[in-house]
Amino acid sequence: MSSAVPSSVPVEPNAPDLSLVICTLNEGAAIRAVIEEICDTLEGISHEIIVVDDDSKDNTADEVRAVAATRPNVRLHVRVGERGLSSAAMKGWDIAHGRFLGVMDGDGQHDPAAIRELAQLILKGDKDLVCVSRYIGKTETGLSGIRDLGSKAFTWVTGLVLKVPLSDPMSGCFMMTRDYYLSARPKLTGLGFKILLDIASSSKTKPRFGEIKASLRQRQGGESKLDLRVVIDLVAVLIEKATGGLLPARFVMFVGVGLSGVVVYSAVLILAHMFFRDGSYLPLYRFQFRTDDVVSYSVAIWLSMTWNFFLNNILTFRDKRLQGWGLLRGLLGFYVACSVGALISLALALFMKEELKVHWLPAGILAAVLSSVWNFWGAMLLSWRT
């Protein structure tokens, strides 16, 4: 995704000053009121509203179309088969016409008054990025001991990879110049929820930035989409940024899933040895193997591979999640990719041990790590096709 060339729409003479993107997933209850409210607050500021909807199952798209029928500055873009707040925002900016690009939520949590203030600030032209922050001024978070510690530790880690001293890098409401966006665009992961963090740690230049204080309002209906997977995405994105792209976020998640597969593999082996004993022997080629060993290793390999596939589908590639026939095709592709990966691992381990005289254990582990790179690319090519 990060390698895709941005379809930067050229700014035409009659283009609006500001393109404000609103990403939605099942926000039918709130979206209409949110758009109306924003259009009213931005009265006098030349702007367009682009709603990027990920094929919501409720009436979100119809609600947006209804507003767009009376307000020509409102546009709707529906993405099918894709998910993710960050990549949805990028899609919106890629098709935007404005000189300045912004994003806000579609559930009414962002205060319209703050958005007007933000628009006026960026339109002055002496800033590259301006954002709404919940944490300006005070460091007192109001959180209990352990959460306060966690929050501070997290802000500290985030500070290490950020190129901007943002007080609220998790903010989902900000505006920037088109140039600043384009300078960051090639390095964006587009994964997860935290597009501000992604951008602020990707741009080549240190931006002139501004913040205004505003707290979040209550959701106007519907429910939050923030869950544990969003947090996992965020950690993976931070690792990618901290390693300067050496460990891509998706690869980090893939390896994490792989490690959980090792646990499944071991558990299945242990269970099989406890409950399945069979003293008979199976002749294979010139060897005799115990039937129960052959069966338990095979079942353990198959189950852990299948586990890895499904976990990758809901975690690592959840923005490209496979369903229906695609799921079956993807599963078969994954078996093929992993089988080839296993052969590569075997060949590498033998080569390192025999030719390079590496001890058998590091040789085996290094071979497994190296072949996981193949597994990752193989899975991308054969299953999720990203």
Q: Which of 18, 242, 250, 49 is nearest to 130 (CA)?
A: 18
Query: Which one, 185 or 225, has the nearer CB to Mn ion?
Result: 225
Region of 51-59, 90-98, 102-110, 159-167 interacting with Mn ion (CB under 5 A): 102-110
Rg over alpha carbons for the chain, rounded to the nearest Å, is 25
Q: Which of 363, 84, 114 is nearest to 122 (CA)?
A: 114
Q: Is position 27 an interface residue for Mn ion (rule: CB under 5 A)?
A: no
| Residue 318, burial from CB neighbour count under 10 angstroms (0-12, 13-18, 19+) | middle
Among 20, 35, 64, 88, binds ligand GDD (CB under 6 A): 88
Query: Which one, 38 or 268, has the nearer CB to Mn ion?
Result: 38
Q: Is position 371 an interface residue for ligand GDD (rule: CB under 6 A)?
A: no
Q: Is position 106 an interface residue for ligand GDD (rule: CB under 6 A)?
A: yes
Q: Let me know: does 187 contact 202? Beta carbons within 8 Å.
A: yes
Q: How far apart are CA 62 and CA 68, in angstroms?
A: 10
Q: Is position 214 an interface residue for ligand GDD (rule: CB under 6 A)?
A: no
Q: Which residues contact 139 (CB under 8 A, 6 or more apart)?
A: none
**In the complex, least distance from residue 116 CB atom to ligand GDD, rounded to whole angstroms:** 18
Structure tokens at 226: 């923030």
Query: Which one, 87 or 308, has the nearer CB to ligand GDD?
Result: 87
Q: Which residues on neighbouring strands pair with residue 100, listed in sequence order?
A: 18, 177
| CA angle (102 as vertex; 171, 198 as ends), nearest 5 | 50
Among 25, 322, 349, 382, binds ligand GDD (CB under 6 A): 25
Q: Is position 109 an interface residue for Mn ion (rule: CB under 5 A)?
A: yes
Q: Which of 263, 191, 196 is nearest to 231 (CA)?
A: 191
* Residue 170 interacting partner from Mn ion, ligand GDD, none (CB closer than 5 to 8 Å by kind): ligand GDD
Q: Which amino acid is at 215?
A: S
Q: Is position 83 an interface residue for ligand GDD (rule: CB under 6 A)?
A: yes
* Residue 84 interacting partner from Mn ion, ligand GDD, none (CB closer than 5 to 8 Å by kind): ligand GDD
**In the complex, least distance from residue 311 CB atom to ligand GDD, rounded to whole angstroms:** 19
Q: How far is CA 273 from the centre of its chain?
A: 39
Among 107, 211, 233, 240, binds Mn ion (CB under 5 A): 107
**In the complex, least distance from residue 86 CB atom to Mn ion, rounded to whole angstroms:** 15
Query: Which one, 169 or 364, has the nearer CB to ligand GDD?
Result: 169
Positions 53 through 82 that interact with ligand GDD (CB under 6 A) = 53-54
Q: What single-letter DSSP state applies at residue 113?
A: H
Q: Is position 28 an interface residue for ligand GDD (rule: CB under 6 A)?
A: no
Query: Which one, 225 or 241, has the nearer CB to Mn ion?
Result: 225
DSSP secondary structure, 280-347, as one string: -EEEETTEEEEHHHHHHHHHHHHHHHHHHHHHHHHTTTGGG---HHHHHHHHHHHHHHHHHHHHHHHH
Query: Which one, 97 or 110, has the nearer CB to ligand GDD?
Result: 110
Q: Which residues bind Mn ion (CB under 5 A)?
A: 107, 109
The binding site for ligand GDD (CB under 6 A) comprises 23-25, 27, 52-54, 83-85, 88, 105-107, 109, 170-172, 193-194, 224-226
